Amino acid sequence: MRHTLLTVVLMLTVMPASAQFAIPRDAKLEAKVEKTLQKMTLDEKIGQMLELNLDIMGGYDANRVWQLNETMLDTLISKWKVGSILNAPGTRAATVAQWQEWIRLIQKKSMKYIGIPDIYGLDHNHGVTYTQGGTLFPQPINMAASFNTELVRTGAEITAYESRAGNCPWVYNPVVDLGRDPRWPRIWESYGEDAVVNAKMVVAQIKGYQGDDPNHIDRFHVGTSTKHYFAYGAPWTGKDRTPAYLSPQLLREKYFEPFKQAALAGTLTMMVNSGSVNGVPLHASYEYLTKWLKEDLGWDGMLVTDWADINSLYSREHVAKDKKDAIRIAINAGIDMSMDPYSVDFCILLKELVQEGKVSMTRIDDAVRRILRAKYRLGLFDEPNTGGKGYEKFGSDEFAQKSLQAAEESMVLLKNDGILPLSPNAQQSSPKILLTGPNANQMRCLLGGWSYTWQGSNAEDLAEKYNTIYEALCNKYGKDNIVLEQGVTYRERGRYYEENKPQIEQAVAAAAQVDVIVACIGENSYTESPGNLSDLWLSENQRNLVKALAKTGKPIILVLNEGRPRLIADIEPLAKAVVDILLPGNYGGDALANLLSGDANFSAKMPYTYPKEINSLNTYDYKVSEVVGTMAGAYDYDARVSLQWPFGYGLSYTTYEYSNLKVDKASFTADDVLTVTVDVKNTGSRGGKEAVLLYSSDLVASIVPDNRRLRDFTKIALEPGETKTVTFRLPAKDLAFVGADGRWTLEEGDFLLRVGRLTAPTKCRETKIWDSPNI
């Protein structure tokens, strides 16, 4: 009952004539949108606002092959005028030919009965999840660790191309939820804990997916749905879709930032956070959906709900009394399309709400305009189907090479006492390796969730042609040199965390014949609520395996293959080297073999803080007062940030020396742009790539300042002995923070700019406070 009259009045001002649009409008395209809208009936308009799941339009035949039922499709499209369909049958990857056929039929019916094409959406999240034989990349958390925006853009281009090959024009990606809580089961779906990393990656990804002109997206590019808007990744309980409680500073400065950049880069659509923030479900928030996004940023894209989330407003969040009430709240808050997978009730109830005056025609028209705009921008009216000729590179070696490169650039070397690289040399001098641990011989855990199936489970058959770690090491070192004795295995038919009865003694016995032990430990695949956990420590069986192997005295290399940083503080000291491969995708095994052997060099850095203690889950940008030294006297105020590995940490087979950090202005005002330069030299004997990270610290501020904030980064390649000067341009307003009154504030005073271990001081000469919510 919170939004009624007030909302209706405000709705009229959703897009004031004077508003600056996030991306420039195309007048011709807008005219087409208006013309189509004018011809539509209320039923047609409401139908456009509904998105259904493909599953309800067919079933499995006697051969257990899913078939689209034309009669059912006819009814749904002709009677209910449904504007969008999503998902893969049984959430399992189909072939390109199946996609072409299904979507072609859907488009045929849509054009016949409504004259408006369908916008079909798939969770092609790290490559074409739901298309067999396509290219899967490392998960976004790996792409973040690569700190390589170019690679991210290329990956998105390839995914767009391979999606369109199967007629699919819309992907539910990028994900920029900020992985700031290691307990949350989806932190690997986005770019780690930092707002700037997420913001730069989302822009690169949108350009890769959509191309450079969001008004005219060609047949090799797709529309994006940046998700999950916003602050989804910080549930208080650590469990998926539970409430978050966040300060206004965190919300505006950090969680909103990547979505703001996505809007400014022209993301066609956004998907909304299923949960609530400070008690307000996002699906019910006029403030966040309409005010922050559509009005303040002038973003004219379309907002789609997450899975059945209008229903969640009454069934889970209890802010609506029934479905009709929930629809009223959500549509008035700014939702344009309801992903209501299994039901057409939405059409009946929304029509009643319009007739009762509880949802205005202005709001309906605004929503439908946004949907039509997305369809026109995607060229769907002219070419509803794209697949067929012109997509010969689908699943090609060229694309595979990019995925391999991404995997190599995304594995983080966290510890190396000199044991790595493990050179294969000539066959006789090759080290003999015991390969152990539950992740040693499975594709599923290299891939993670959203890989051929929703949970990434039951899909080994579709990933058969790729190499597990075991297969890749056999290829690299010779089968005779690899002894596989896993010691601990996952129960593949159970929950992701279930393990079979351990056989640790067998692994220990096998260690007698080898020179070195490579222990592949971590997690099996999962996503969303099935990935919830109750203990962040790595499983006891796996830690016992490593402890037992350590007693053999053979050197241990730990390979961490996990969606989130599971605690390993008790076994880390037992290892000579540690590599965090995160979720590296189909070429993860090959990439690891190349890196362990020294055929490739490490260049990744941690995209999040790796915690050490269960009660010390800090992020790198913690408040300075989270570290309190002991004062003189009787009291011990000691508080420490205790962590296993910091954000931005990562070793290589070469070394880099940073020098000459300079900032061009000893003092500045809010309108200035600071130029920061630093020399980076490769001081080792191997070529390599180095991610160079620029941080700032505001030394004194009117609200407790963050310890440090990442402001920019780049990645450079350096031959041995080579030096490059890296230049960053840092607008001074980027150093502002959100003050106690909720306004952007840049205060007079001292700042330190930091790169590596170097610091450069500079000073802000005047205080500026902005009235605008976006600066």
- Distance in angstroms (rounded) separating the CA atoms of residues 222 and 387: 13
- DSSP assignment letter at 55: G
Verify binding: residue 188, ligand BGC, rule CB under 6 A: no
Q: How far is the CB of 48 from ligand BGC (least distance, A)?
A: 19
Q: How far is the CB of 624 from ligand BGC (least distance, A)?
A: 35
Compare residues 220 and 307 and give the one whose CB is closer to ligand BGC: 307
Cα angle 460, 477, 604 (rounded to 5 degrees) comes to 70
Q: How far is the CB of 189 from ligand BGC (least distance, A)?
A: 8
Q: Under 8 Å CB-to-CB from 726, ≥6 apart: which residues?
A: 677, 678, 679, 680, 692, 714, 716, 755
Q: Under 8 Å CB-to-CB from 410, ≥6 apart: which residues?
A: 138, 142, 143, 145, 146, 581, 582, 584, 591, 604
Q: Between residue 200 and residue 219, which ones bind ligand BGC under the rule CB under 6 A?
A: none
- Distance in angstroms (rounded) separating the CA atoms of residues 654 and 684: 5
Residues binding ligand BGC: what is the number (CB under 6 A)?
8
- DSSP assignment letter at 337: B
Q: How far is the CB of 237 from ligand BGC (least distance, A)?
A: 17
Q: What share of the chain is helix, strand, coil (3-state, %, to 5)?
A: 35, 20, 45
Residue selected from 30, 55, 515, 528 as contacting ligand BGC according to rule CB under 6 A = 528
Verify binding: residue 307, ligand BGC, rule CB under 6 A: yes
52 torsion bin: left (phi>0), alpha (psi -120 to 50), beta (else): beta
Q: How far is the CB of 580 from ligand BGC (least distance, A)?
A: 24
Q: Between residue 271 and residue 290, which ones bind ligand BGC under the rule CB under 6 A?
A: 271
Compare residues 205 and 360 and give the one whose CB is closer to ligand BGC: 205
What DSSP letter does each residue of 120-141 carry, written as one string? EEE---SB-TTBTTS-BPPPHH
Tell me if 101 sits within 8 A of 152, measured CB to CB. Answer: no
Beta strands in 464-621 (DSSP E): 482-484, 516-522, 556-561, 577-580, 610-611
Which residue is associated with the tokens 């999840």?
129
Tell me if 708 sits within 8 A of 754, measured CB to CB. Answer: yes
Per-position x/- string for 87-106, each x denoting binding to ligand BGC as judged by CB under 6 A, each - no binding: x-------------------
Per-position x/- string for 634-663, each x denoting binding to ligand BGC as judged by CB under 6 A, each - no binding: ------------------------------
Q: How far is the CB of 271 from ligand BGC (least distance, A)?
A: 6
- Distance in angstroms (rounded) separating the CA atoms of residues 52 and 566: 37
Compare residues 54 and 196 and give the one whose CB is closer to ligand BGC: 54
306 an active-site residue? yes
Verify binding: residue 537, ligand BGC, rule CB under 6 A: no
Compare residues 87 and 561 and give the one whose CB is closer to ligand BGC: 87
Question: What does the block give as tokens for 223?
Answer: 């529309």
Compare residues 303 and 538 and give the one whose CB is closer to ligand BGC: 303
Tell me if 408 sits within 8 A of 600, measured CB to CB. Answer: yes
Verify binding: residue 123, ligand BGC, rule CB under 6 A: yes
Compare residues 306 and 317 and give the one whose CB is closer to ligand BGC: 306
Q: How far is the CB of 172 from ligand BGC (least distance, A)?
A: 4
Question: What does the block give as tokens for 733?
Answer: 């307003």
SS (H, E, C) 722-741: CEEEEEEEEEHHHHCEECCC
Compare residues 169 and 589 and give the one whose CB is closer to ligand BGC: 169
Q: How far is the CB of 145 from ligand BGC (least distance, A)?
A: 21
Q: Under 8 Å CB-to-CB from 78, ≥6 apart: which residues?
A: 109, 113
Residues in the chain, total:
775
Q: How far is the CB of 91 from ligand BGC (least distance, A)?
A: 8
Q: Between residue 28 and residue 87, which ones bind ligand BGC under the rule CB under 6 A?
A: 87
Question: What does the block give as tokens for 546?
Answer: 């490593």
Compare residues 282 and 404 and give the one whose CB is closer to ligand BGC: 282
Q: How far is the CB of 211 from ligand BGC (least distance, A)?
A: 22
Question: What does the block give as tokens for 683?
Answer: 């001081």
Compare residues 172 and 645 and give the one whose CB is closer to ligand BGC: 172
Q: Between residue 227 and residue 256, which ones bind ligand BGC under the rule CB under 6 A?
A: 227
What DSSP letter does each residue of 134-166 carry, written as one string? S-BPPPHHHHHHHT-HHHHHHHHHHHHHHHHHT
H helix runs in 227-344, sequence order: 248-249, 257-264, 286, 309-315, 323-333
Packing angle between helix 323-333 and helix 361-377, nearest 10 degrees? 70
Per-position x/- string for 131-170, each x denoting binding to ligand BGC as judged by CB under 6 A, each - no binding: ----------------------------------------
Tell me if 247 sits within 8 A of 739, measured CB to CB. Answer: no
Compare residues 227 and 294 and give the one whose CB is closer to ligand BGC: 227
CA atoms within 13 A on the CB side of 144: 32
Compare residues 176 and 577 and give the one whose CB is closer to ligand BGC: 176
- Distance in angstroms (rounded) separating the CA atoms of residues 562 and 448: 8
Which residues are registered as beta bridge partners of 752? 697, 761
- Name the residue among 296, 335, 301, 328 with its Cα closest to residue 314: 328
Q: How far is the CB of 83 from ligand BGC (least distance, A)?
A: 16
Catalytic residue, candidates 118, 177, 306, 706: 306
Residue selected from 181, 306, 572, 690 as contacting ligand BGC according to rule CB under 6 A = 306
Contacts 24+ apart (CB under 8 A), 35-44: 36/116, 36/372, 37/365, 37/368, 37/369, 37/372, 40/368, 42/351, 42/354, 42/361, 42/364, 43/81, 43/347, 43/351, 44/81, 44/114, 44/116
Compare residues 185 and 565 and give the one whose CB is closer to ligand BGC: 185
CA 518 to chain centre: 29
Compare residues 233 and 555 and give the one whose CB is closer to ligand BGC: 233
- Distance in angstroms (rounded) separating the CA atoms of residues 307 and 350: 18
Q: How far is the CB of 338 from ligand BGC (least distance, A)?
A: 13
Q: How far is the CB of 202 from ligand BGC (least distance, A)?
A: 15
Binding residues for ligand BGC, per CB under 6 A? Answer: 87, 123, 172, 227, 271, 306-307, 528
- Give the active site residues: 306
